[in-house]
Structure 1
Amino acid sequence: MAGARPEVASAGEAPPRGARRRGTAGRLGVLVLVLVVLCLPPWWTLFAAGAGWPLPVFLGGTVVLAAWMVAFPFLMIAGHGARQSDRAARIADTSLGVVWVLFTWSALGGLADLVLGGLDVGGADRARAVAVAVAVVSAALLGWGHYEAMRVPRVKRLDVHLPRLGAGLDGTRVVVLADTHYGPIDRADWSARVTEVVNGLDADVVVHAGDIADGTPARRRQQSAPLGAVRSRLARVYVTGNHEYGSEAQGWLDRMADLGWEPLHNRHVVVERGGDTLVLAGVDDVTAASSGLAGHRANLLGALAGADPDRPVLLVAHQPKYVPQAAAAGIDLQVSGHTHGGQIWPFNLLVRIDQPVVHGLSRHGERTQLYTSRGTGFWGPPFRVFAPSEITLLTLRSGGPSTTG
């Protein structure tokens, strides 16, 4: 019709049906591409690259990988969508970890096969030997990685020297937990044993740096309950991570308060020992602003409002990427988690694209130091490969260089 305007969605209106279909088709296409990319190296290296397996072995391997590609999206939707089926989530998460390890080592095995072929090493049996080696290495890493994920973390000890720290606070013991990720695998007993380890460290301050759970406080009540038994002399403080913003973030702040912790929801508390004081400040996760929850965003000015600027500040912020704001504000020490140290190698290389640090102590600007924990638990796949979990004991010292212990 002459004079008719093209169909354009105005602000607040739903996009046209055709646009929604194209968007859905685009997301589906990306998902299919990712699944194919993950499965192609294992299929090629283990079954198809001249290994000469009997036909039933070739067909069986092909069918298993194809079936996983088809089933995985449905398992993820059932496990992490509206239904929140823990059983489906366990299957989806575990299988994703298995495929990721197979992808990594199959790709490396394929490269090794090409190099050996170029050097004319191995002869006709080379491809089969590579396939067997990849299978054995992957199985060993998955077994070891599962043990590493499920065990109680070892304690990592570190001295952190803060020039502005008063002598009365020299030797203050700060225990850091992060990324416990209580989730589809019931780890209530694990949580209780973590609490026992923490209580054996004689902490002055205990910090939980966020990503407490995958699930609401009601669903993860039993797993989080042991946190109520954590002991400290001066304070127990907690900040939200990005995962709380898909699992009732305000509910987790309330839950931790009920357990006796101080939720540092863009606020601070002051602790004192020997006549000297330390400001413990915390901010919401950087994803909070996009969550739609009123009053939730990372607000460092609000967190420090009323604090004496001459006092040293320990800031808890879930993601290391918040450190530029901390450095600009002259924070003495930021404590973060989020990265898991990569959790399953070589994912640490991808984490480094998004975060300034993957793990450990680092310096940013003249005053600010950042400690990034590898995390106490795990997210999703119940594996940790070359990225061990940790309970961290930071001993604060007055002046001098920071050293590991």
Structure 2
Amino acid sequence: MTTPSEAVETPPRPRRSSRAVIFSLIITAAALLLFGTSWWTLVAAGNDWPAPVFVVLTVVWALWAVSFPILMVRGHGGGHRDGAAIAADTSLGVVWVLFTWSVLSLLLRAALAIGGVADPVRSRVVTVVVAVIALVLLLWGYAEAIRVSRVRSVDVVVPRLGPGLDGLRVVLLTDTHYGPINRTRWSRGVIDVVNTLDADVVAHTGDIADGSVQQRLSQAAPLADARASLARVYVTGNHEYFSGALGWVEHMEALGWETLHNRHIVVSRGGDQLIVAGVDDRTAGGSGLPGHQADHTAALAGADPALPILLLAHQPQMIGGAVEHGVDLQISGHTHGGQIWPFHYLVRTDQPSLQGLTRHGERTQLYTSRGTGFWGPPFRVFAPSEITVLTLRSEGSLPT
């Protein structure tokens, strides 16, 4: 999922300074909006709290708002300070939910006013309703975020797929985001599930971690044990490009995965073949790493044009290149399915798909996963995580 902290910095110092200023301004503006709206609803408005209560709550809210951008920069800056990141991310999730329901509570406030309920009763009813809804959603969202992802099974008809490959099982992991909250046991649980799914191909479409290989070594370790009969393949996501992309590419190869850095492999079964290709994330070109950019032409160089193509690309937004190059199925992540409602609607302003299977052009289909892990706030609200089993079917193989 794209956030202001994901801007890829480039080597020249003036540009870094400019991006830092812009990032700080965005965070500050967001803090004023999110914290200010929730403060007005729960503390100010017409609640008419006793003066000491009002002062204490206002001071708490002000300190919370001021500390948020500081913690965000310290936690998600170059040092990846885990304690600060956990505090900032949790704050972001809590205040986002409070902000959302504070805005929606205007409808309740209006209804109560029409019904003749005056302040402070009206505002205090709104405060209680917002606080209770937020608490329930945050507790539920936390449980959804930290649980081992459910399996989501989808059949995909690929007309050019040969009969020997009918029923090929592609298990998709994406956006694991090993991060400041140590989820080594969770990671092991995910791979244990993967190994029950009889995968032919296991694919990881990027955003492995937030932090360097050394910081997230134990969390990534279970990836070495993922089983697939034909291939284990991986492409970079946008987060790799500010978490040490080269280190992660090398580490995935050391764990036995094929890194599809603008290249492809061919898998065979039953006398038929499938091209499995991958491209770098669309942010790779701004990373300053030589040779890193999304390059569909290079990824498919030398490929037999008669063979069906499965493409790994981190962001659904890259589907245009897939259509142009005759890809049959692109698999992606990045969106997290919105992660915390109603962020879903903001994601859709940047991406052509939020989740699920969609068609683009005459040949190309896109499957967008809601993600296996979570980024930042340890909450998932109306956007459950998933381990996806895509069963590829040749045309005519499914009953009508």
TM, length-normalised to structure 1:
0.91
Match of 1:328 among 305, 324, 333: 324
Task: Read off the aligned partner of 2:195 and give its amino acid letter.
Answer: N
Greater Rg over alpha carbons, structure:
1
Work out the CA distance in 2 between the residues paired with 1:355 and 1:160: 21
Change (3 A) 1:168 1:402: closer
**Which blocks of at least 5 consecutive residues in structure 2 are unaligned?**
1-10
Task: Read off the aligned partner of 1:268 and give its amino acid letter.
Answer: H
Match of 1:69 among 65, 68, 71: 65
* Contact 1:162 1:400 (8 Å CA) reproduced: no
Q: Which residue of 2 aligns with 1:149?
A: 145
Aligned-pair CA distance for 1:51: 2.0
Calculate percent identity across the aligned residue pairs. Answer: 60
Aligned-pair CA distance for 1:111: 3.1
Work out the CA distance in 1 between the residues paired with 2:247 and 2:25: 36
In structure 1, the residue corresponding to 2:349 is in which secondary structure? helix
Change (3 A) 1:13 1:331: closer
Work out the CA distance in 2 between the residues paired with 1:402 and 1:69: 55
Aligned-pair CA distance for 1:54: 2.7
Aligned-pair CA distance for 1:26: 6.6
Task: Read off the aligned partner of 1:181 and give its amino acid letter.
Answer: H
In structure 2, the residue corresponding to 1:354 is in which secondary structure? coil
In structure 1, the residue corresponding to 2:348 is in which secondary structure? helix
Q: Which residue of 2 aligns with 1:6?
A: none
Task: Read off the aligned partner of 1:172 and give its amino acid letter.
Answer: L
Match of 2:289 among 290, 293, 307: 293
2:67 counterpart of 1:41:
no
1:102-181 equivalent positions in 2, closer than 5 A: 102-121=98-117, 125-181=121-177
Match of 1:393 among 380, 383, 389: 389
Aligned-pair CA distance for 1:122: 6.8
* Contact 1:45 1:110 (8 Å CA) reproduced: no
2:373 counterpart of 1:377:
yes
Describe the superposition over 1:288-314 as per-residue Cα deviations: whole angstroms up to 9, x where unpaired.
001000010011111111111000000
Aligned-pair CA distance for 1:79: 1.3
Work out the CA distance in 2 between the residues paired with 1:402 and 1:232: 24
* Contact 1:160 1:402 (8 Å CA) reproduced: no
Which range is displaced more, 67-76 or 286-295?
67-76
Work out the CA distance in 2 between the residues paired with 1:13 and 1:35: 29
Change (3 A) 1:171 1:29: closer
Work out the CA distance in 2 between the residues paired with 1:235 and 1:343: 29
Equivalent residue pairs, number: 388
Task: Read off the aligned partner of 1:63 and give its amino acid letter.
Answer: V
In structure 2, the residue corresponding to 1:396 is in which secondary structure? strand
In structure 1, the residue corresponding to 2:79 is in which secondary structure? coil
Match of 1:357 among 338, 353, 359: 353
Q: Which residue of 2 aligns with 1:224?
A: 220
* Contact 1:41 1:103 (8 Å CA) reproduced: yes
In structure 1, the residue corresponding to 2:43 is in which secondary structure? helix
Work out the CA distance in 1 between the residues paired with 2:72 and 2:27: 12
**Which blocks of at least 5 consecutive residues in structure 1 are unaligned?**
1-11
TM, length-normalised to structure 2:
0.93
Task: Read off the aligned partner of 1:205 and give its amino acid letter.
Answer: V
2:205 counterpart of 1:214:
no
Which range is displaced more, 55-64 or 187-196?
55-64
Work out the CA distance in 1 between the residues paired with 2:314 and 2:12: 34
Match of 1:238 among 226, 234, 239: 234
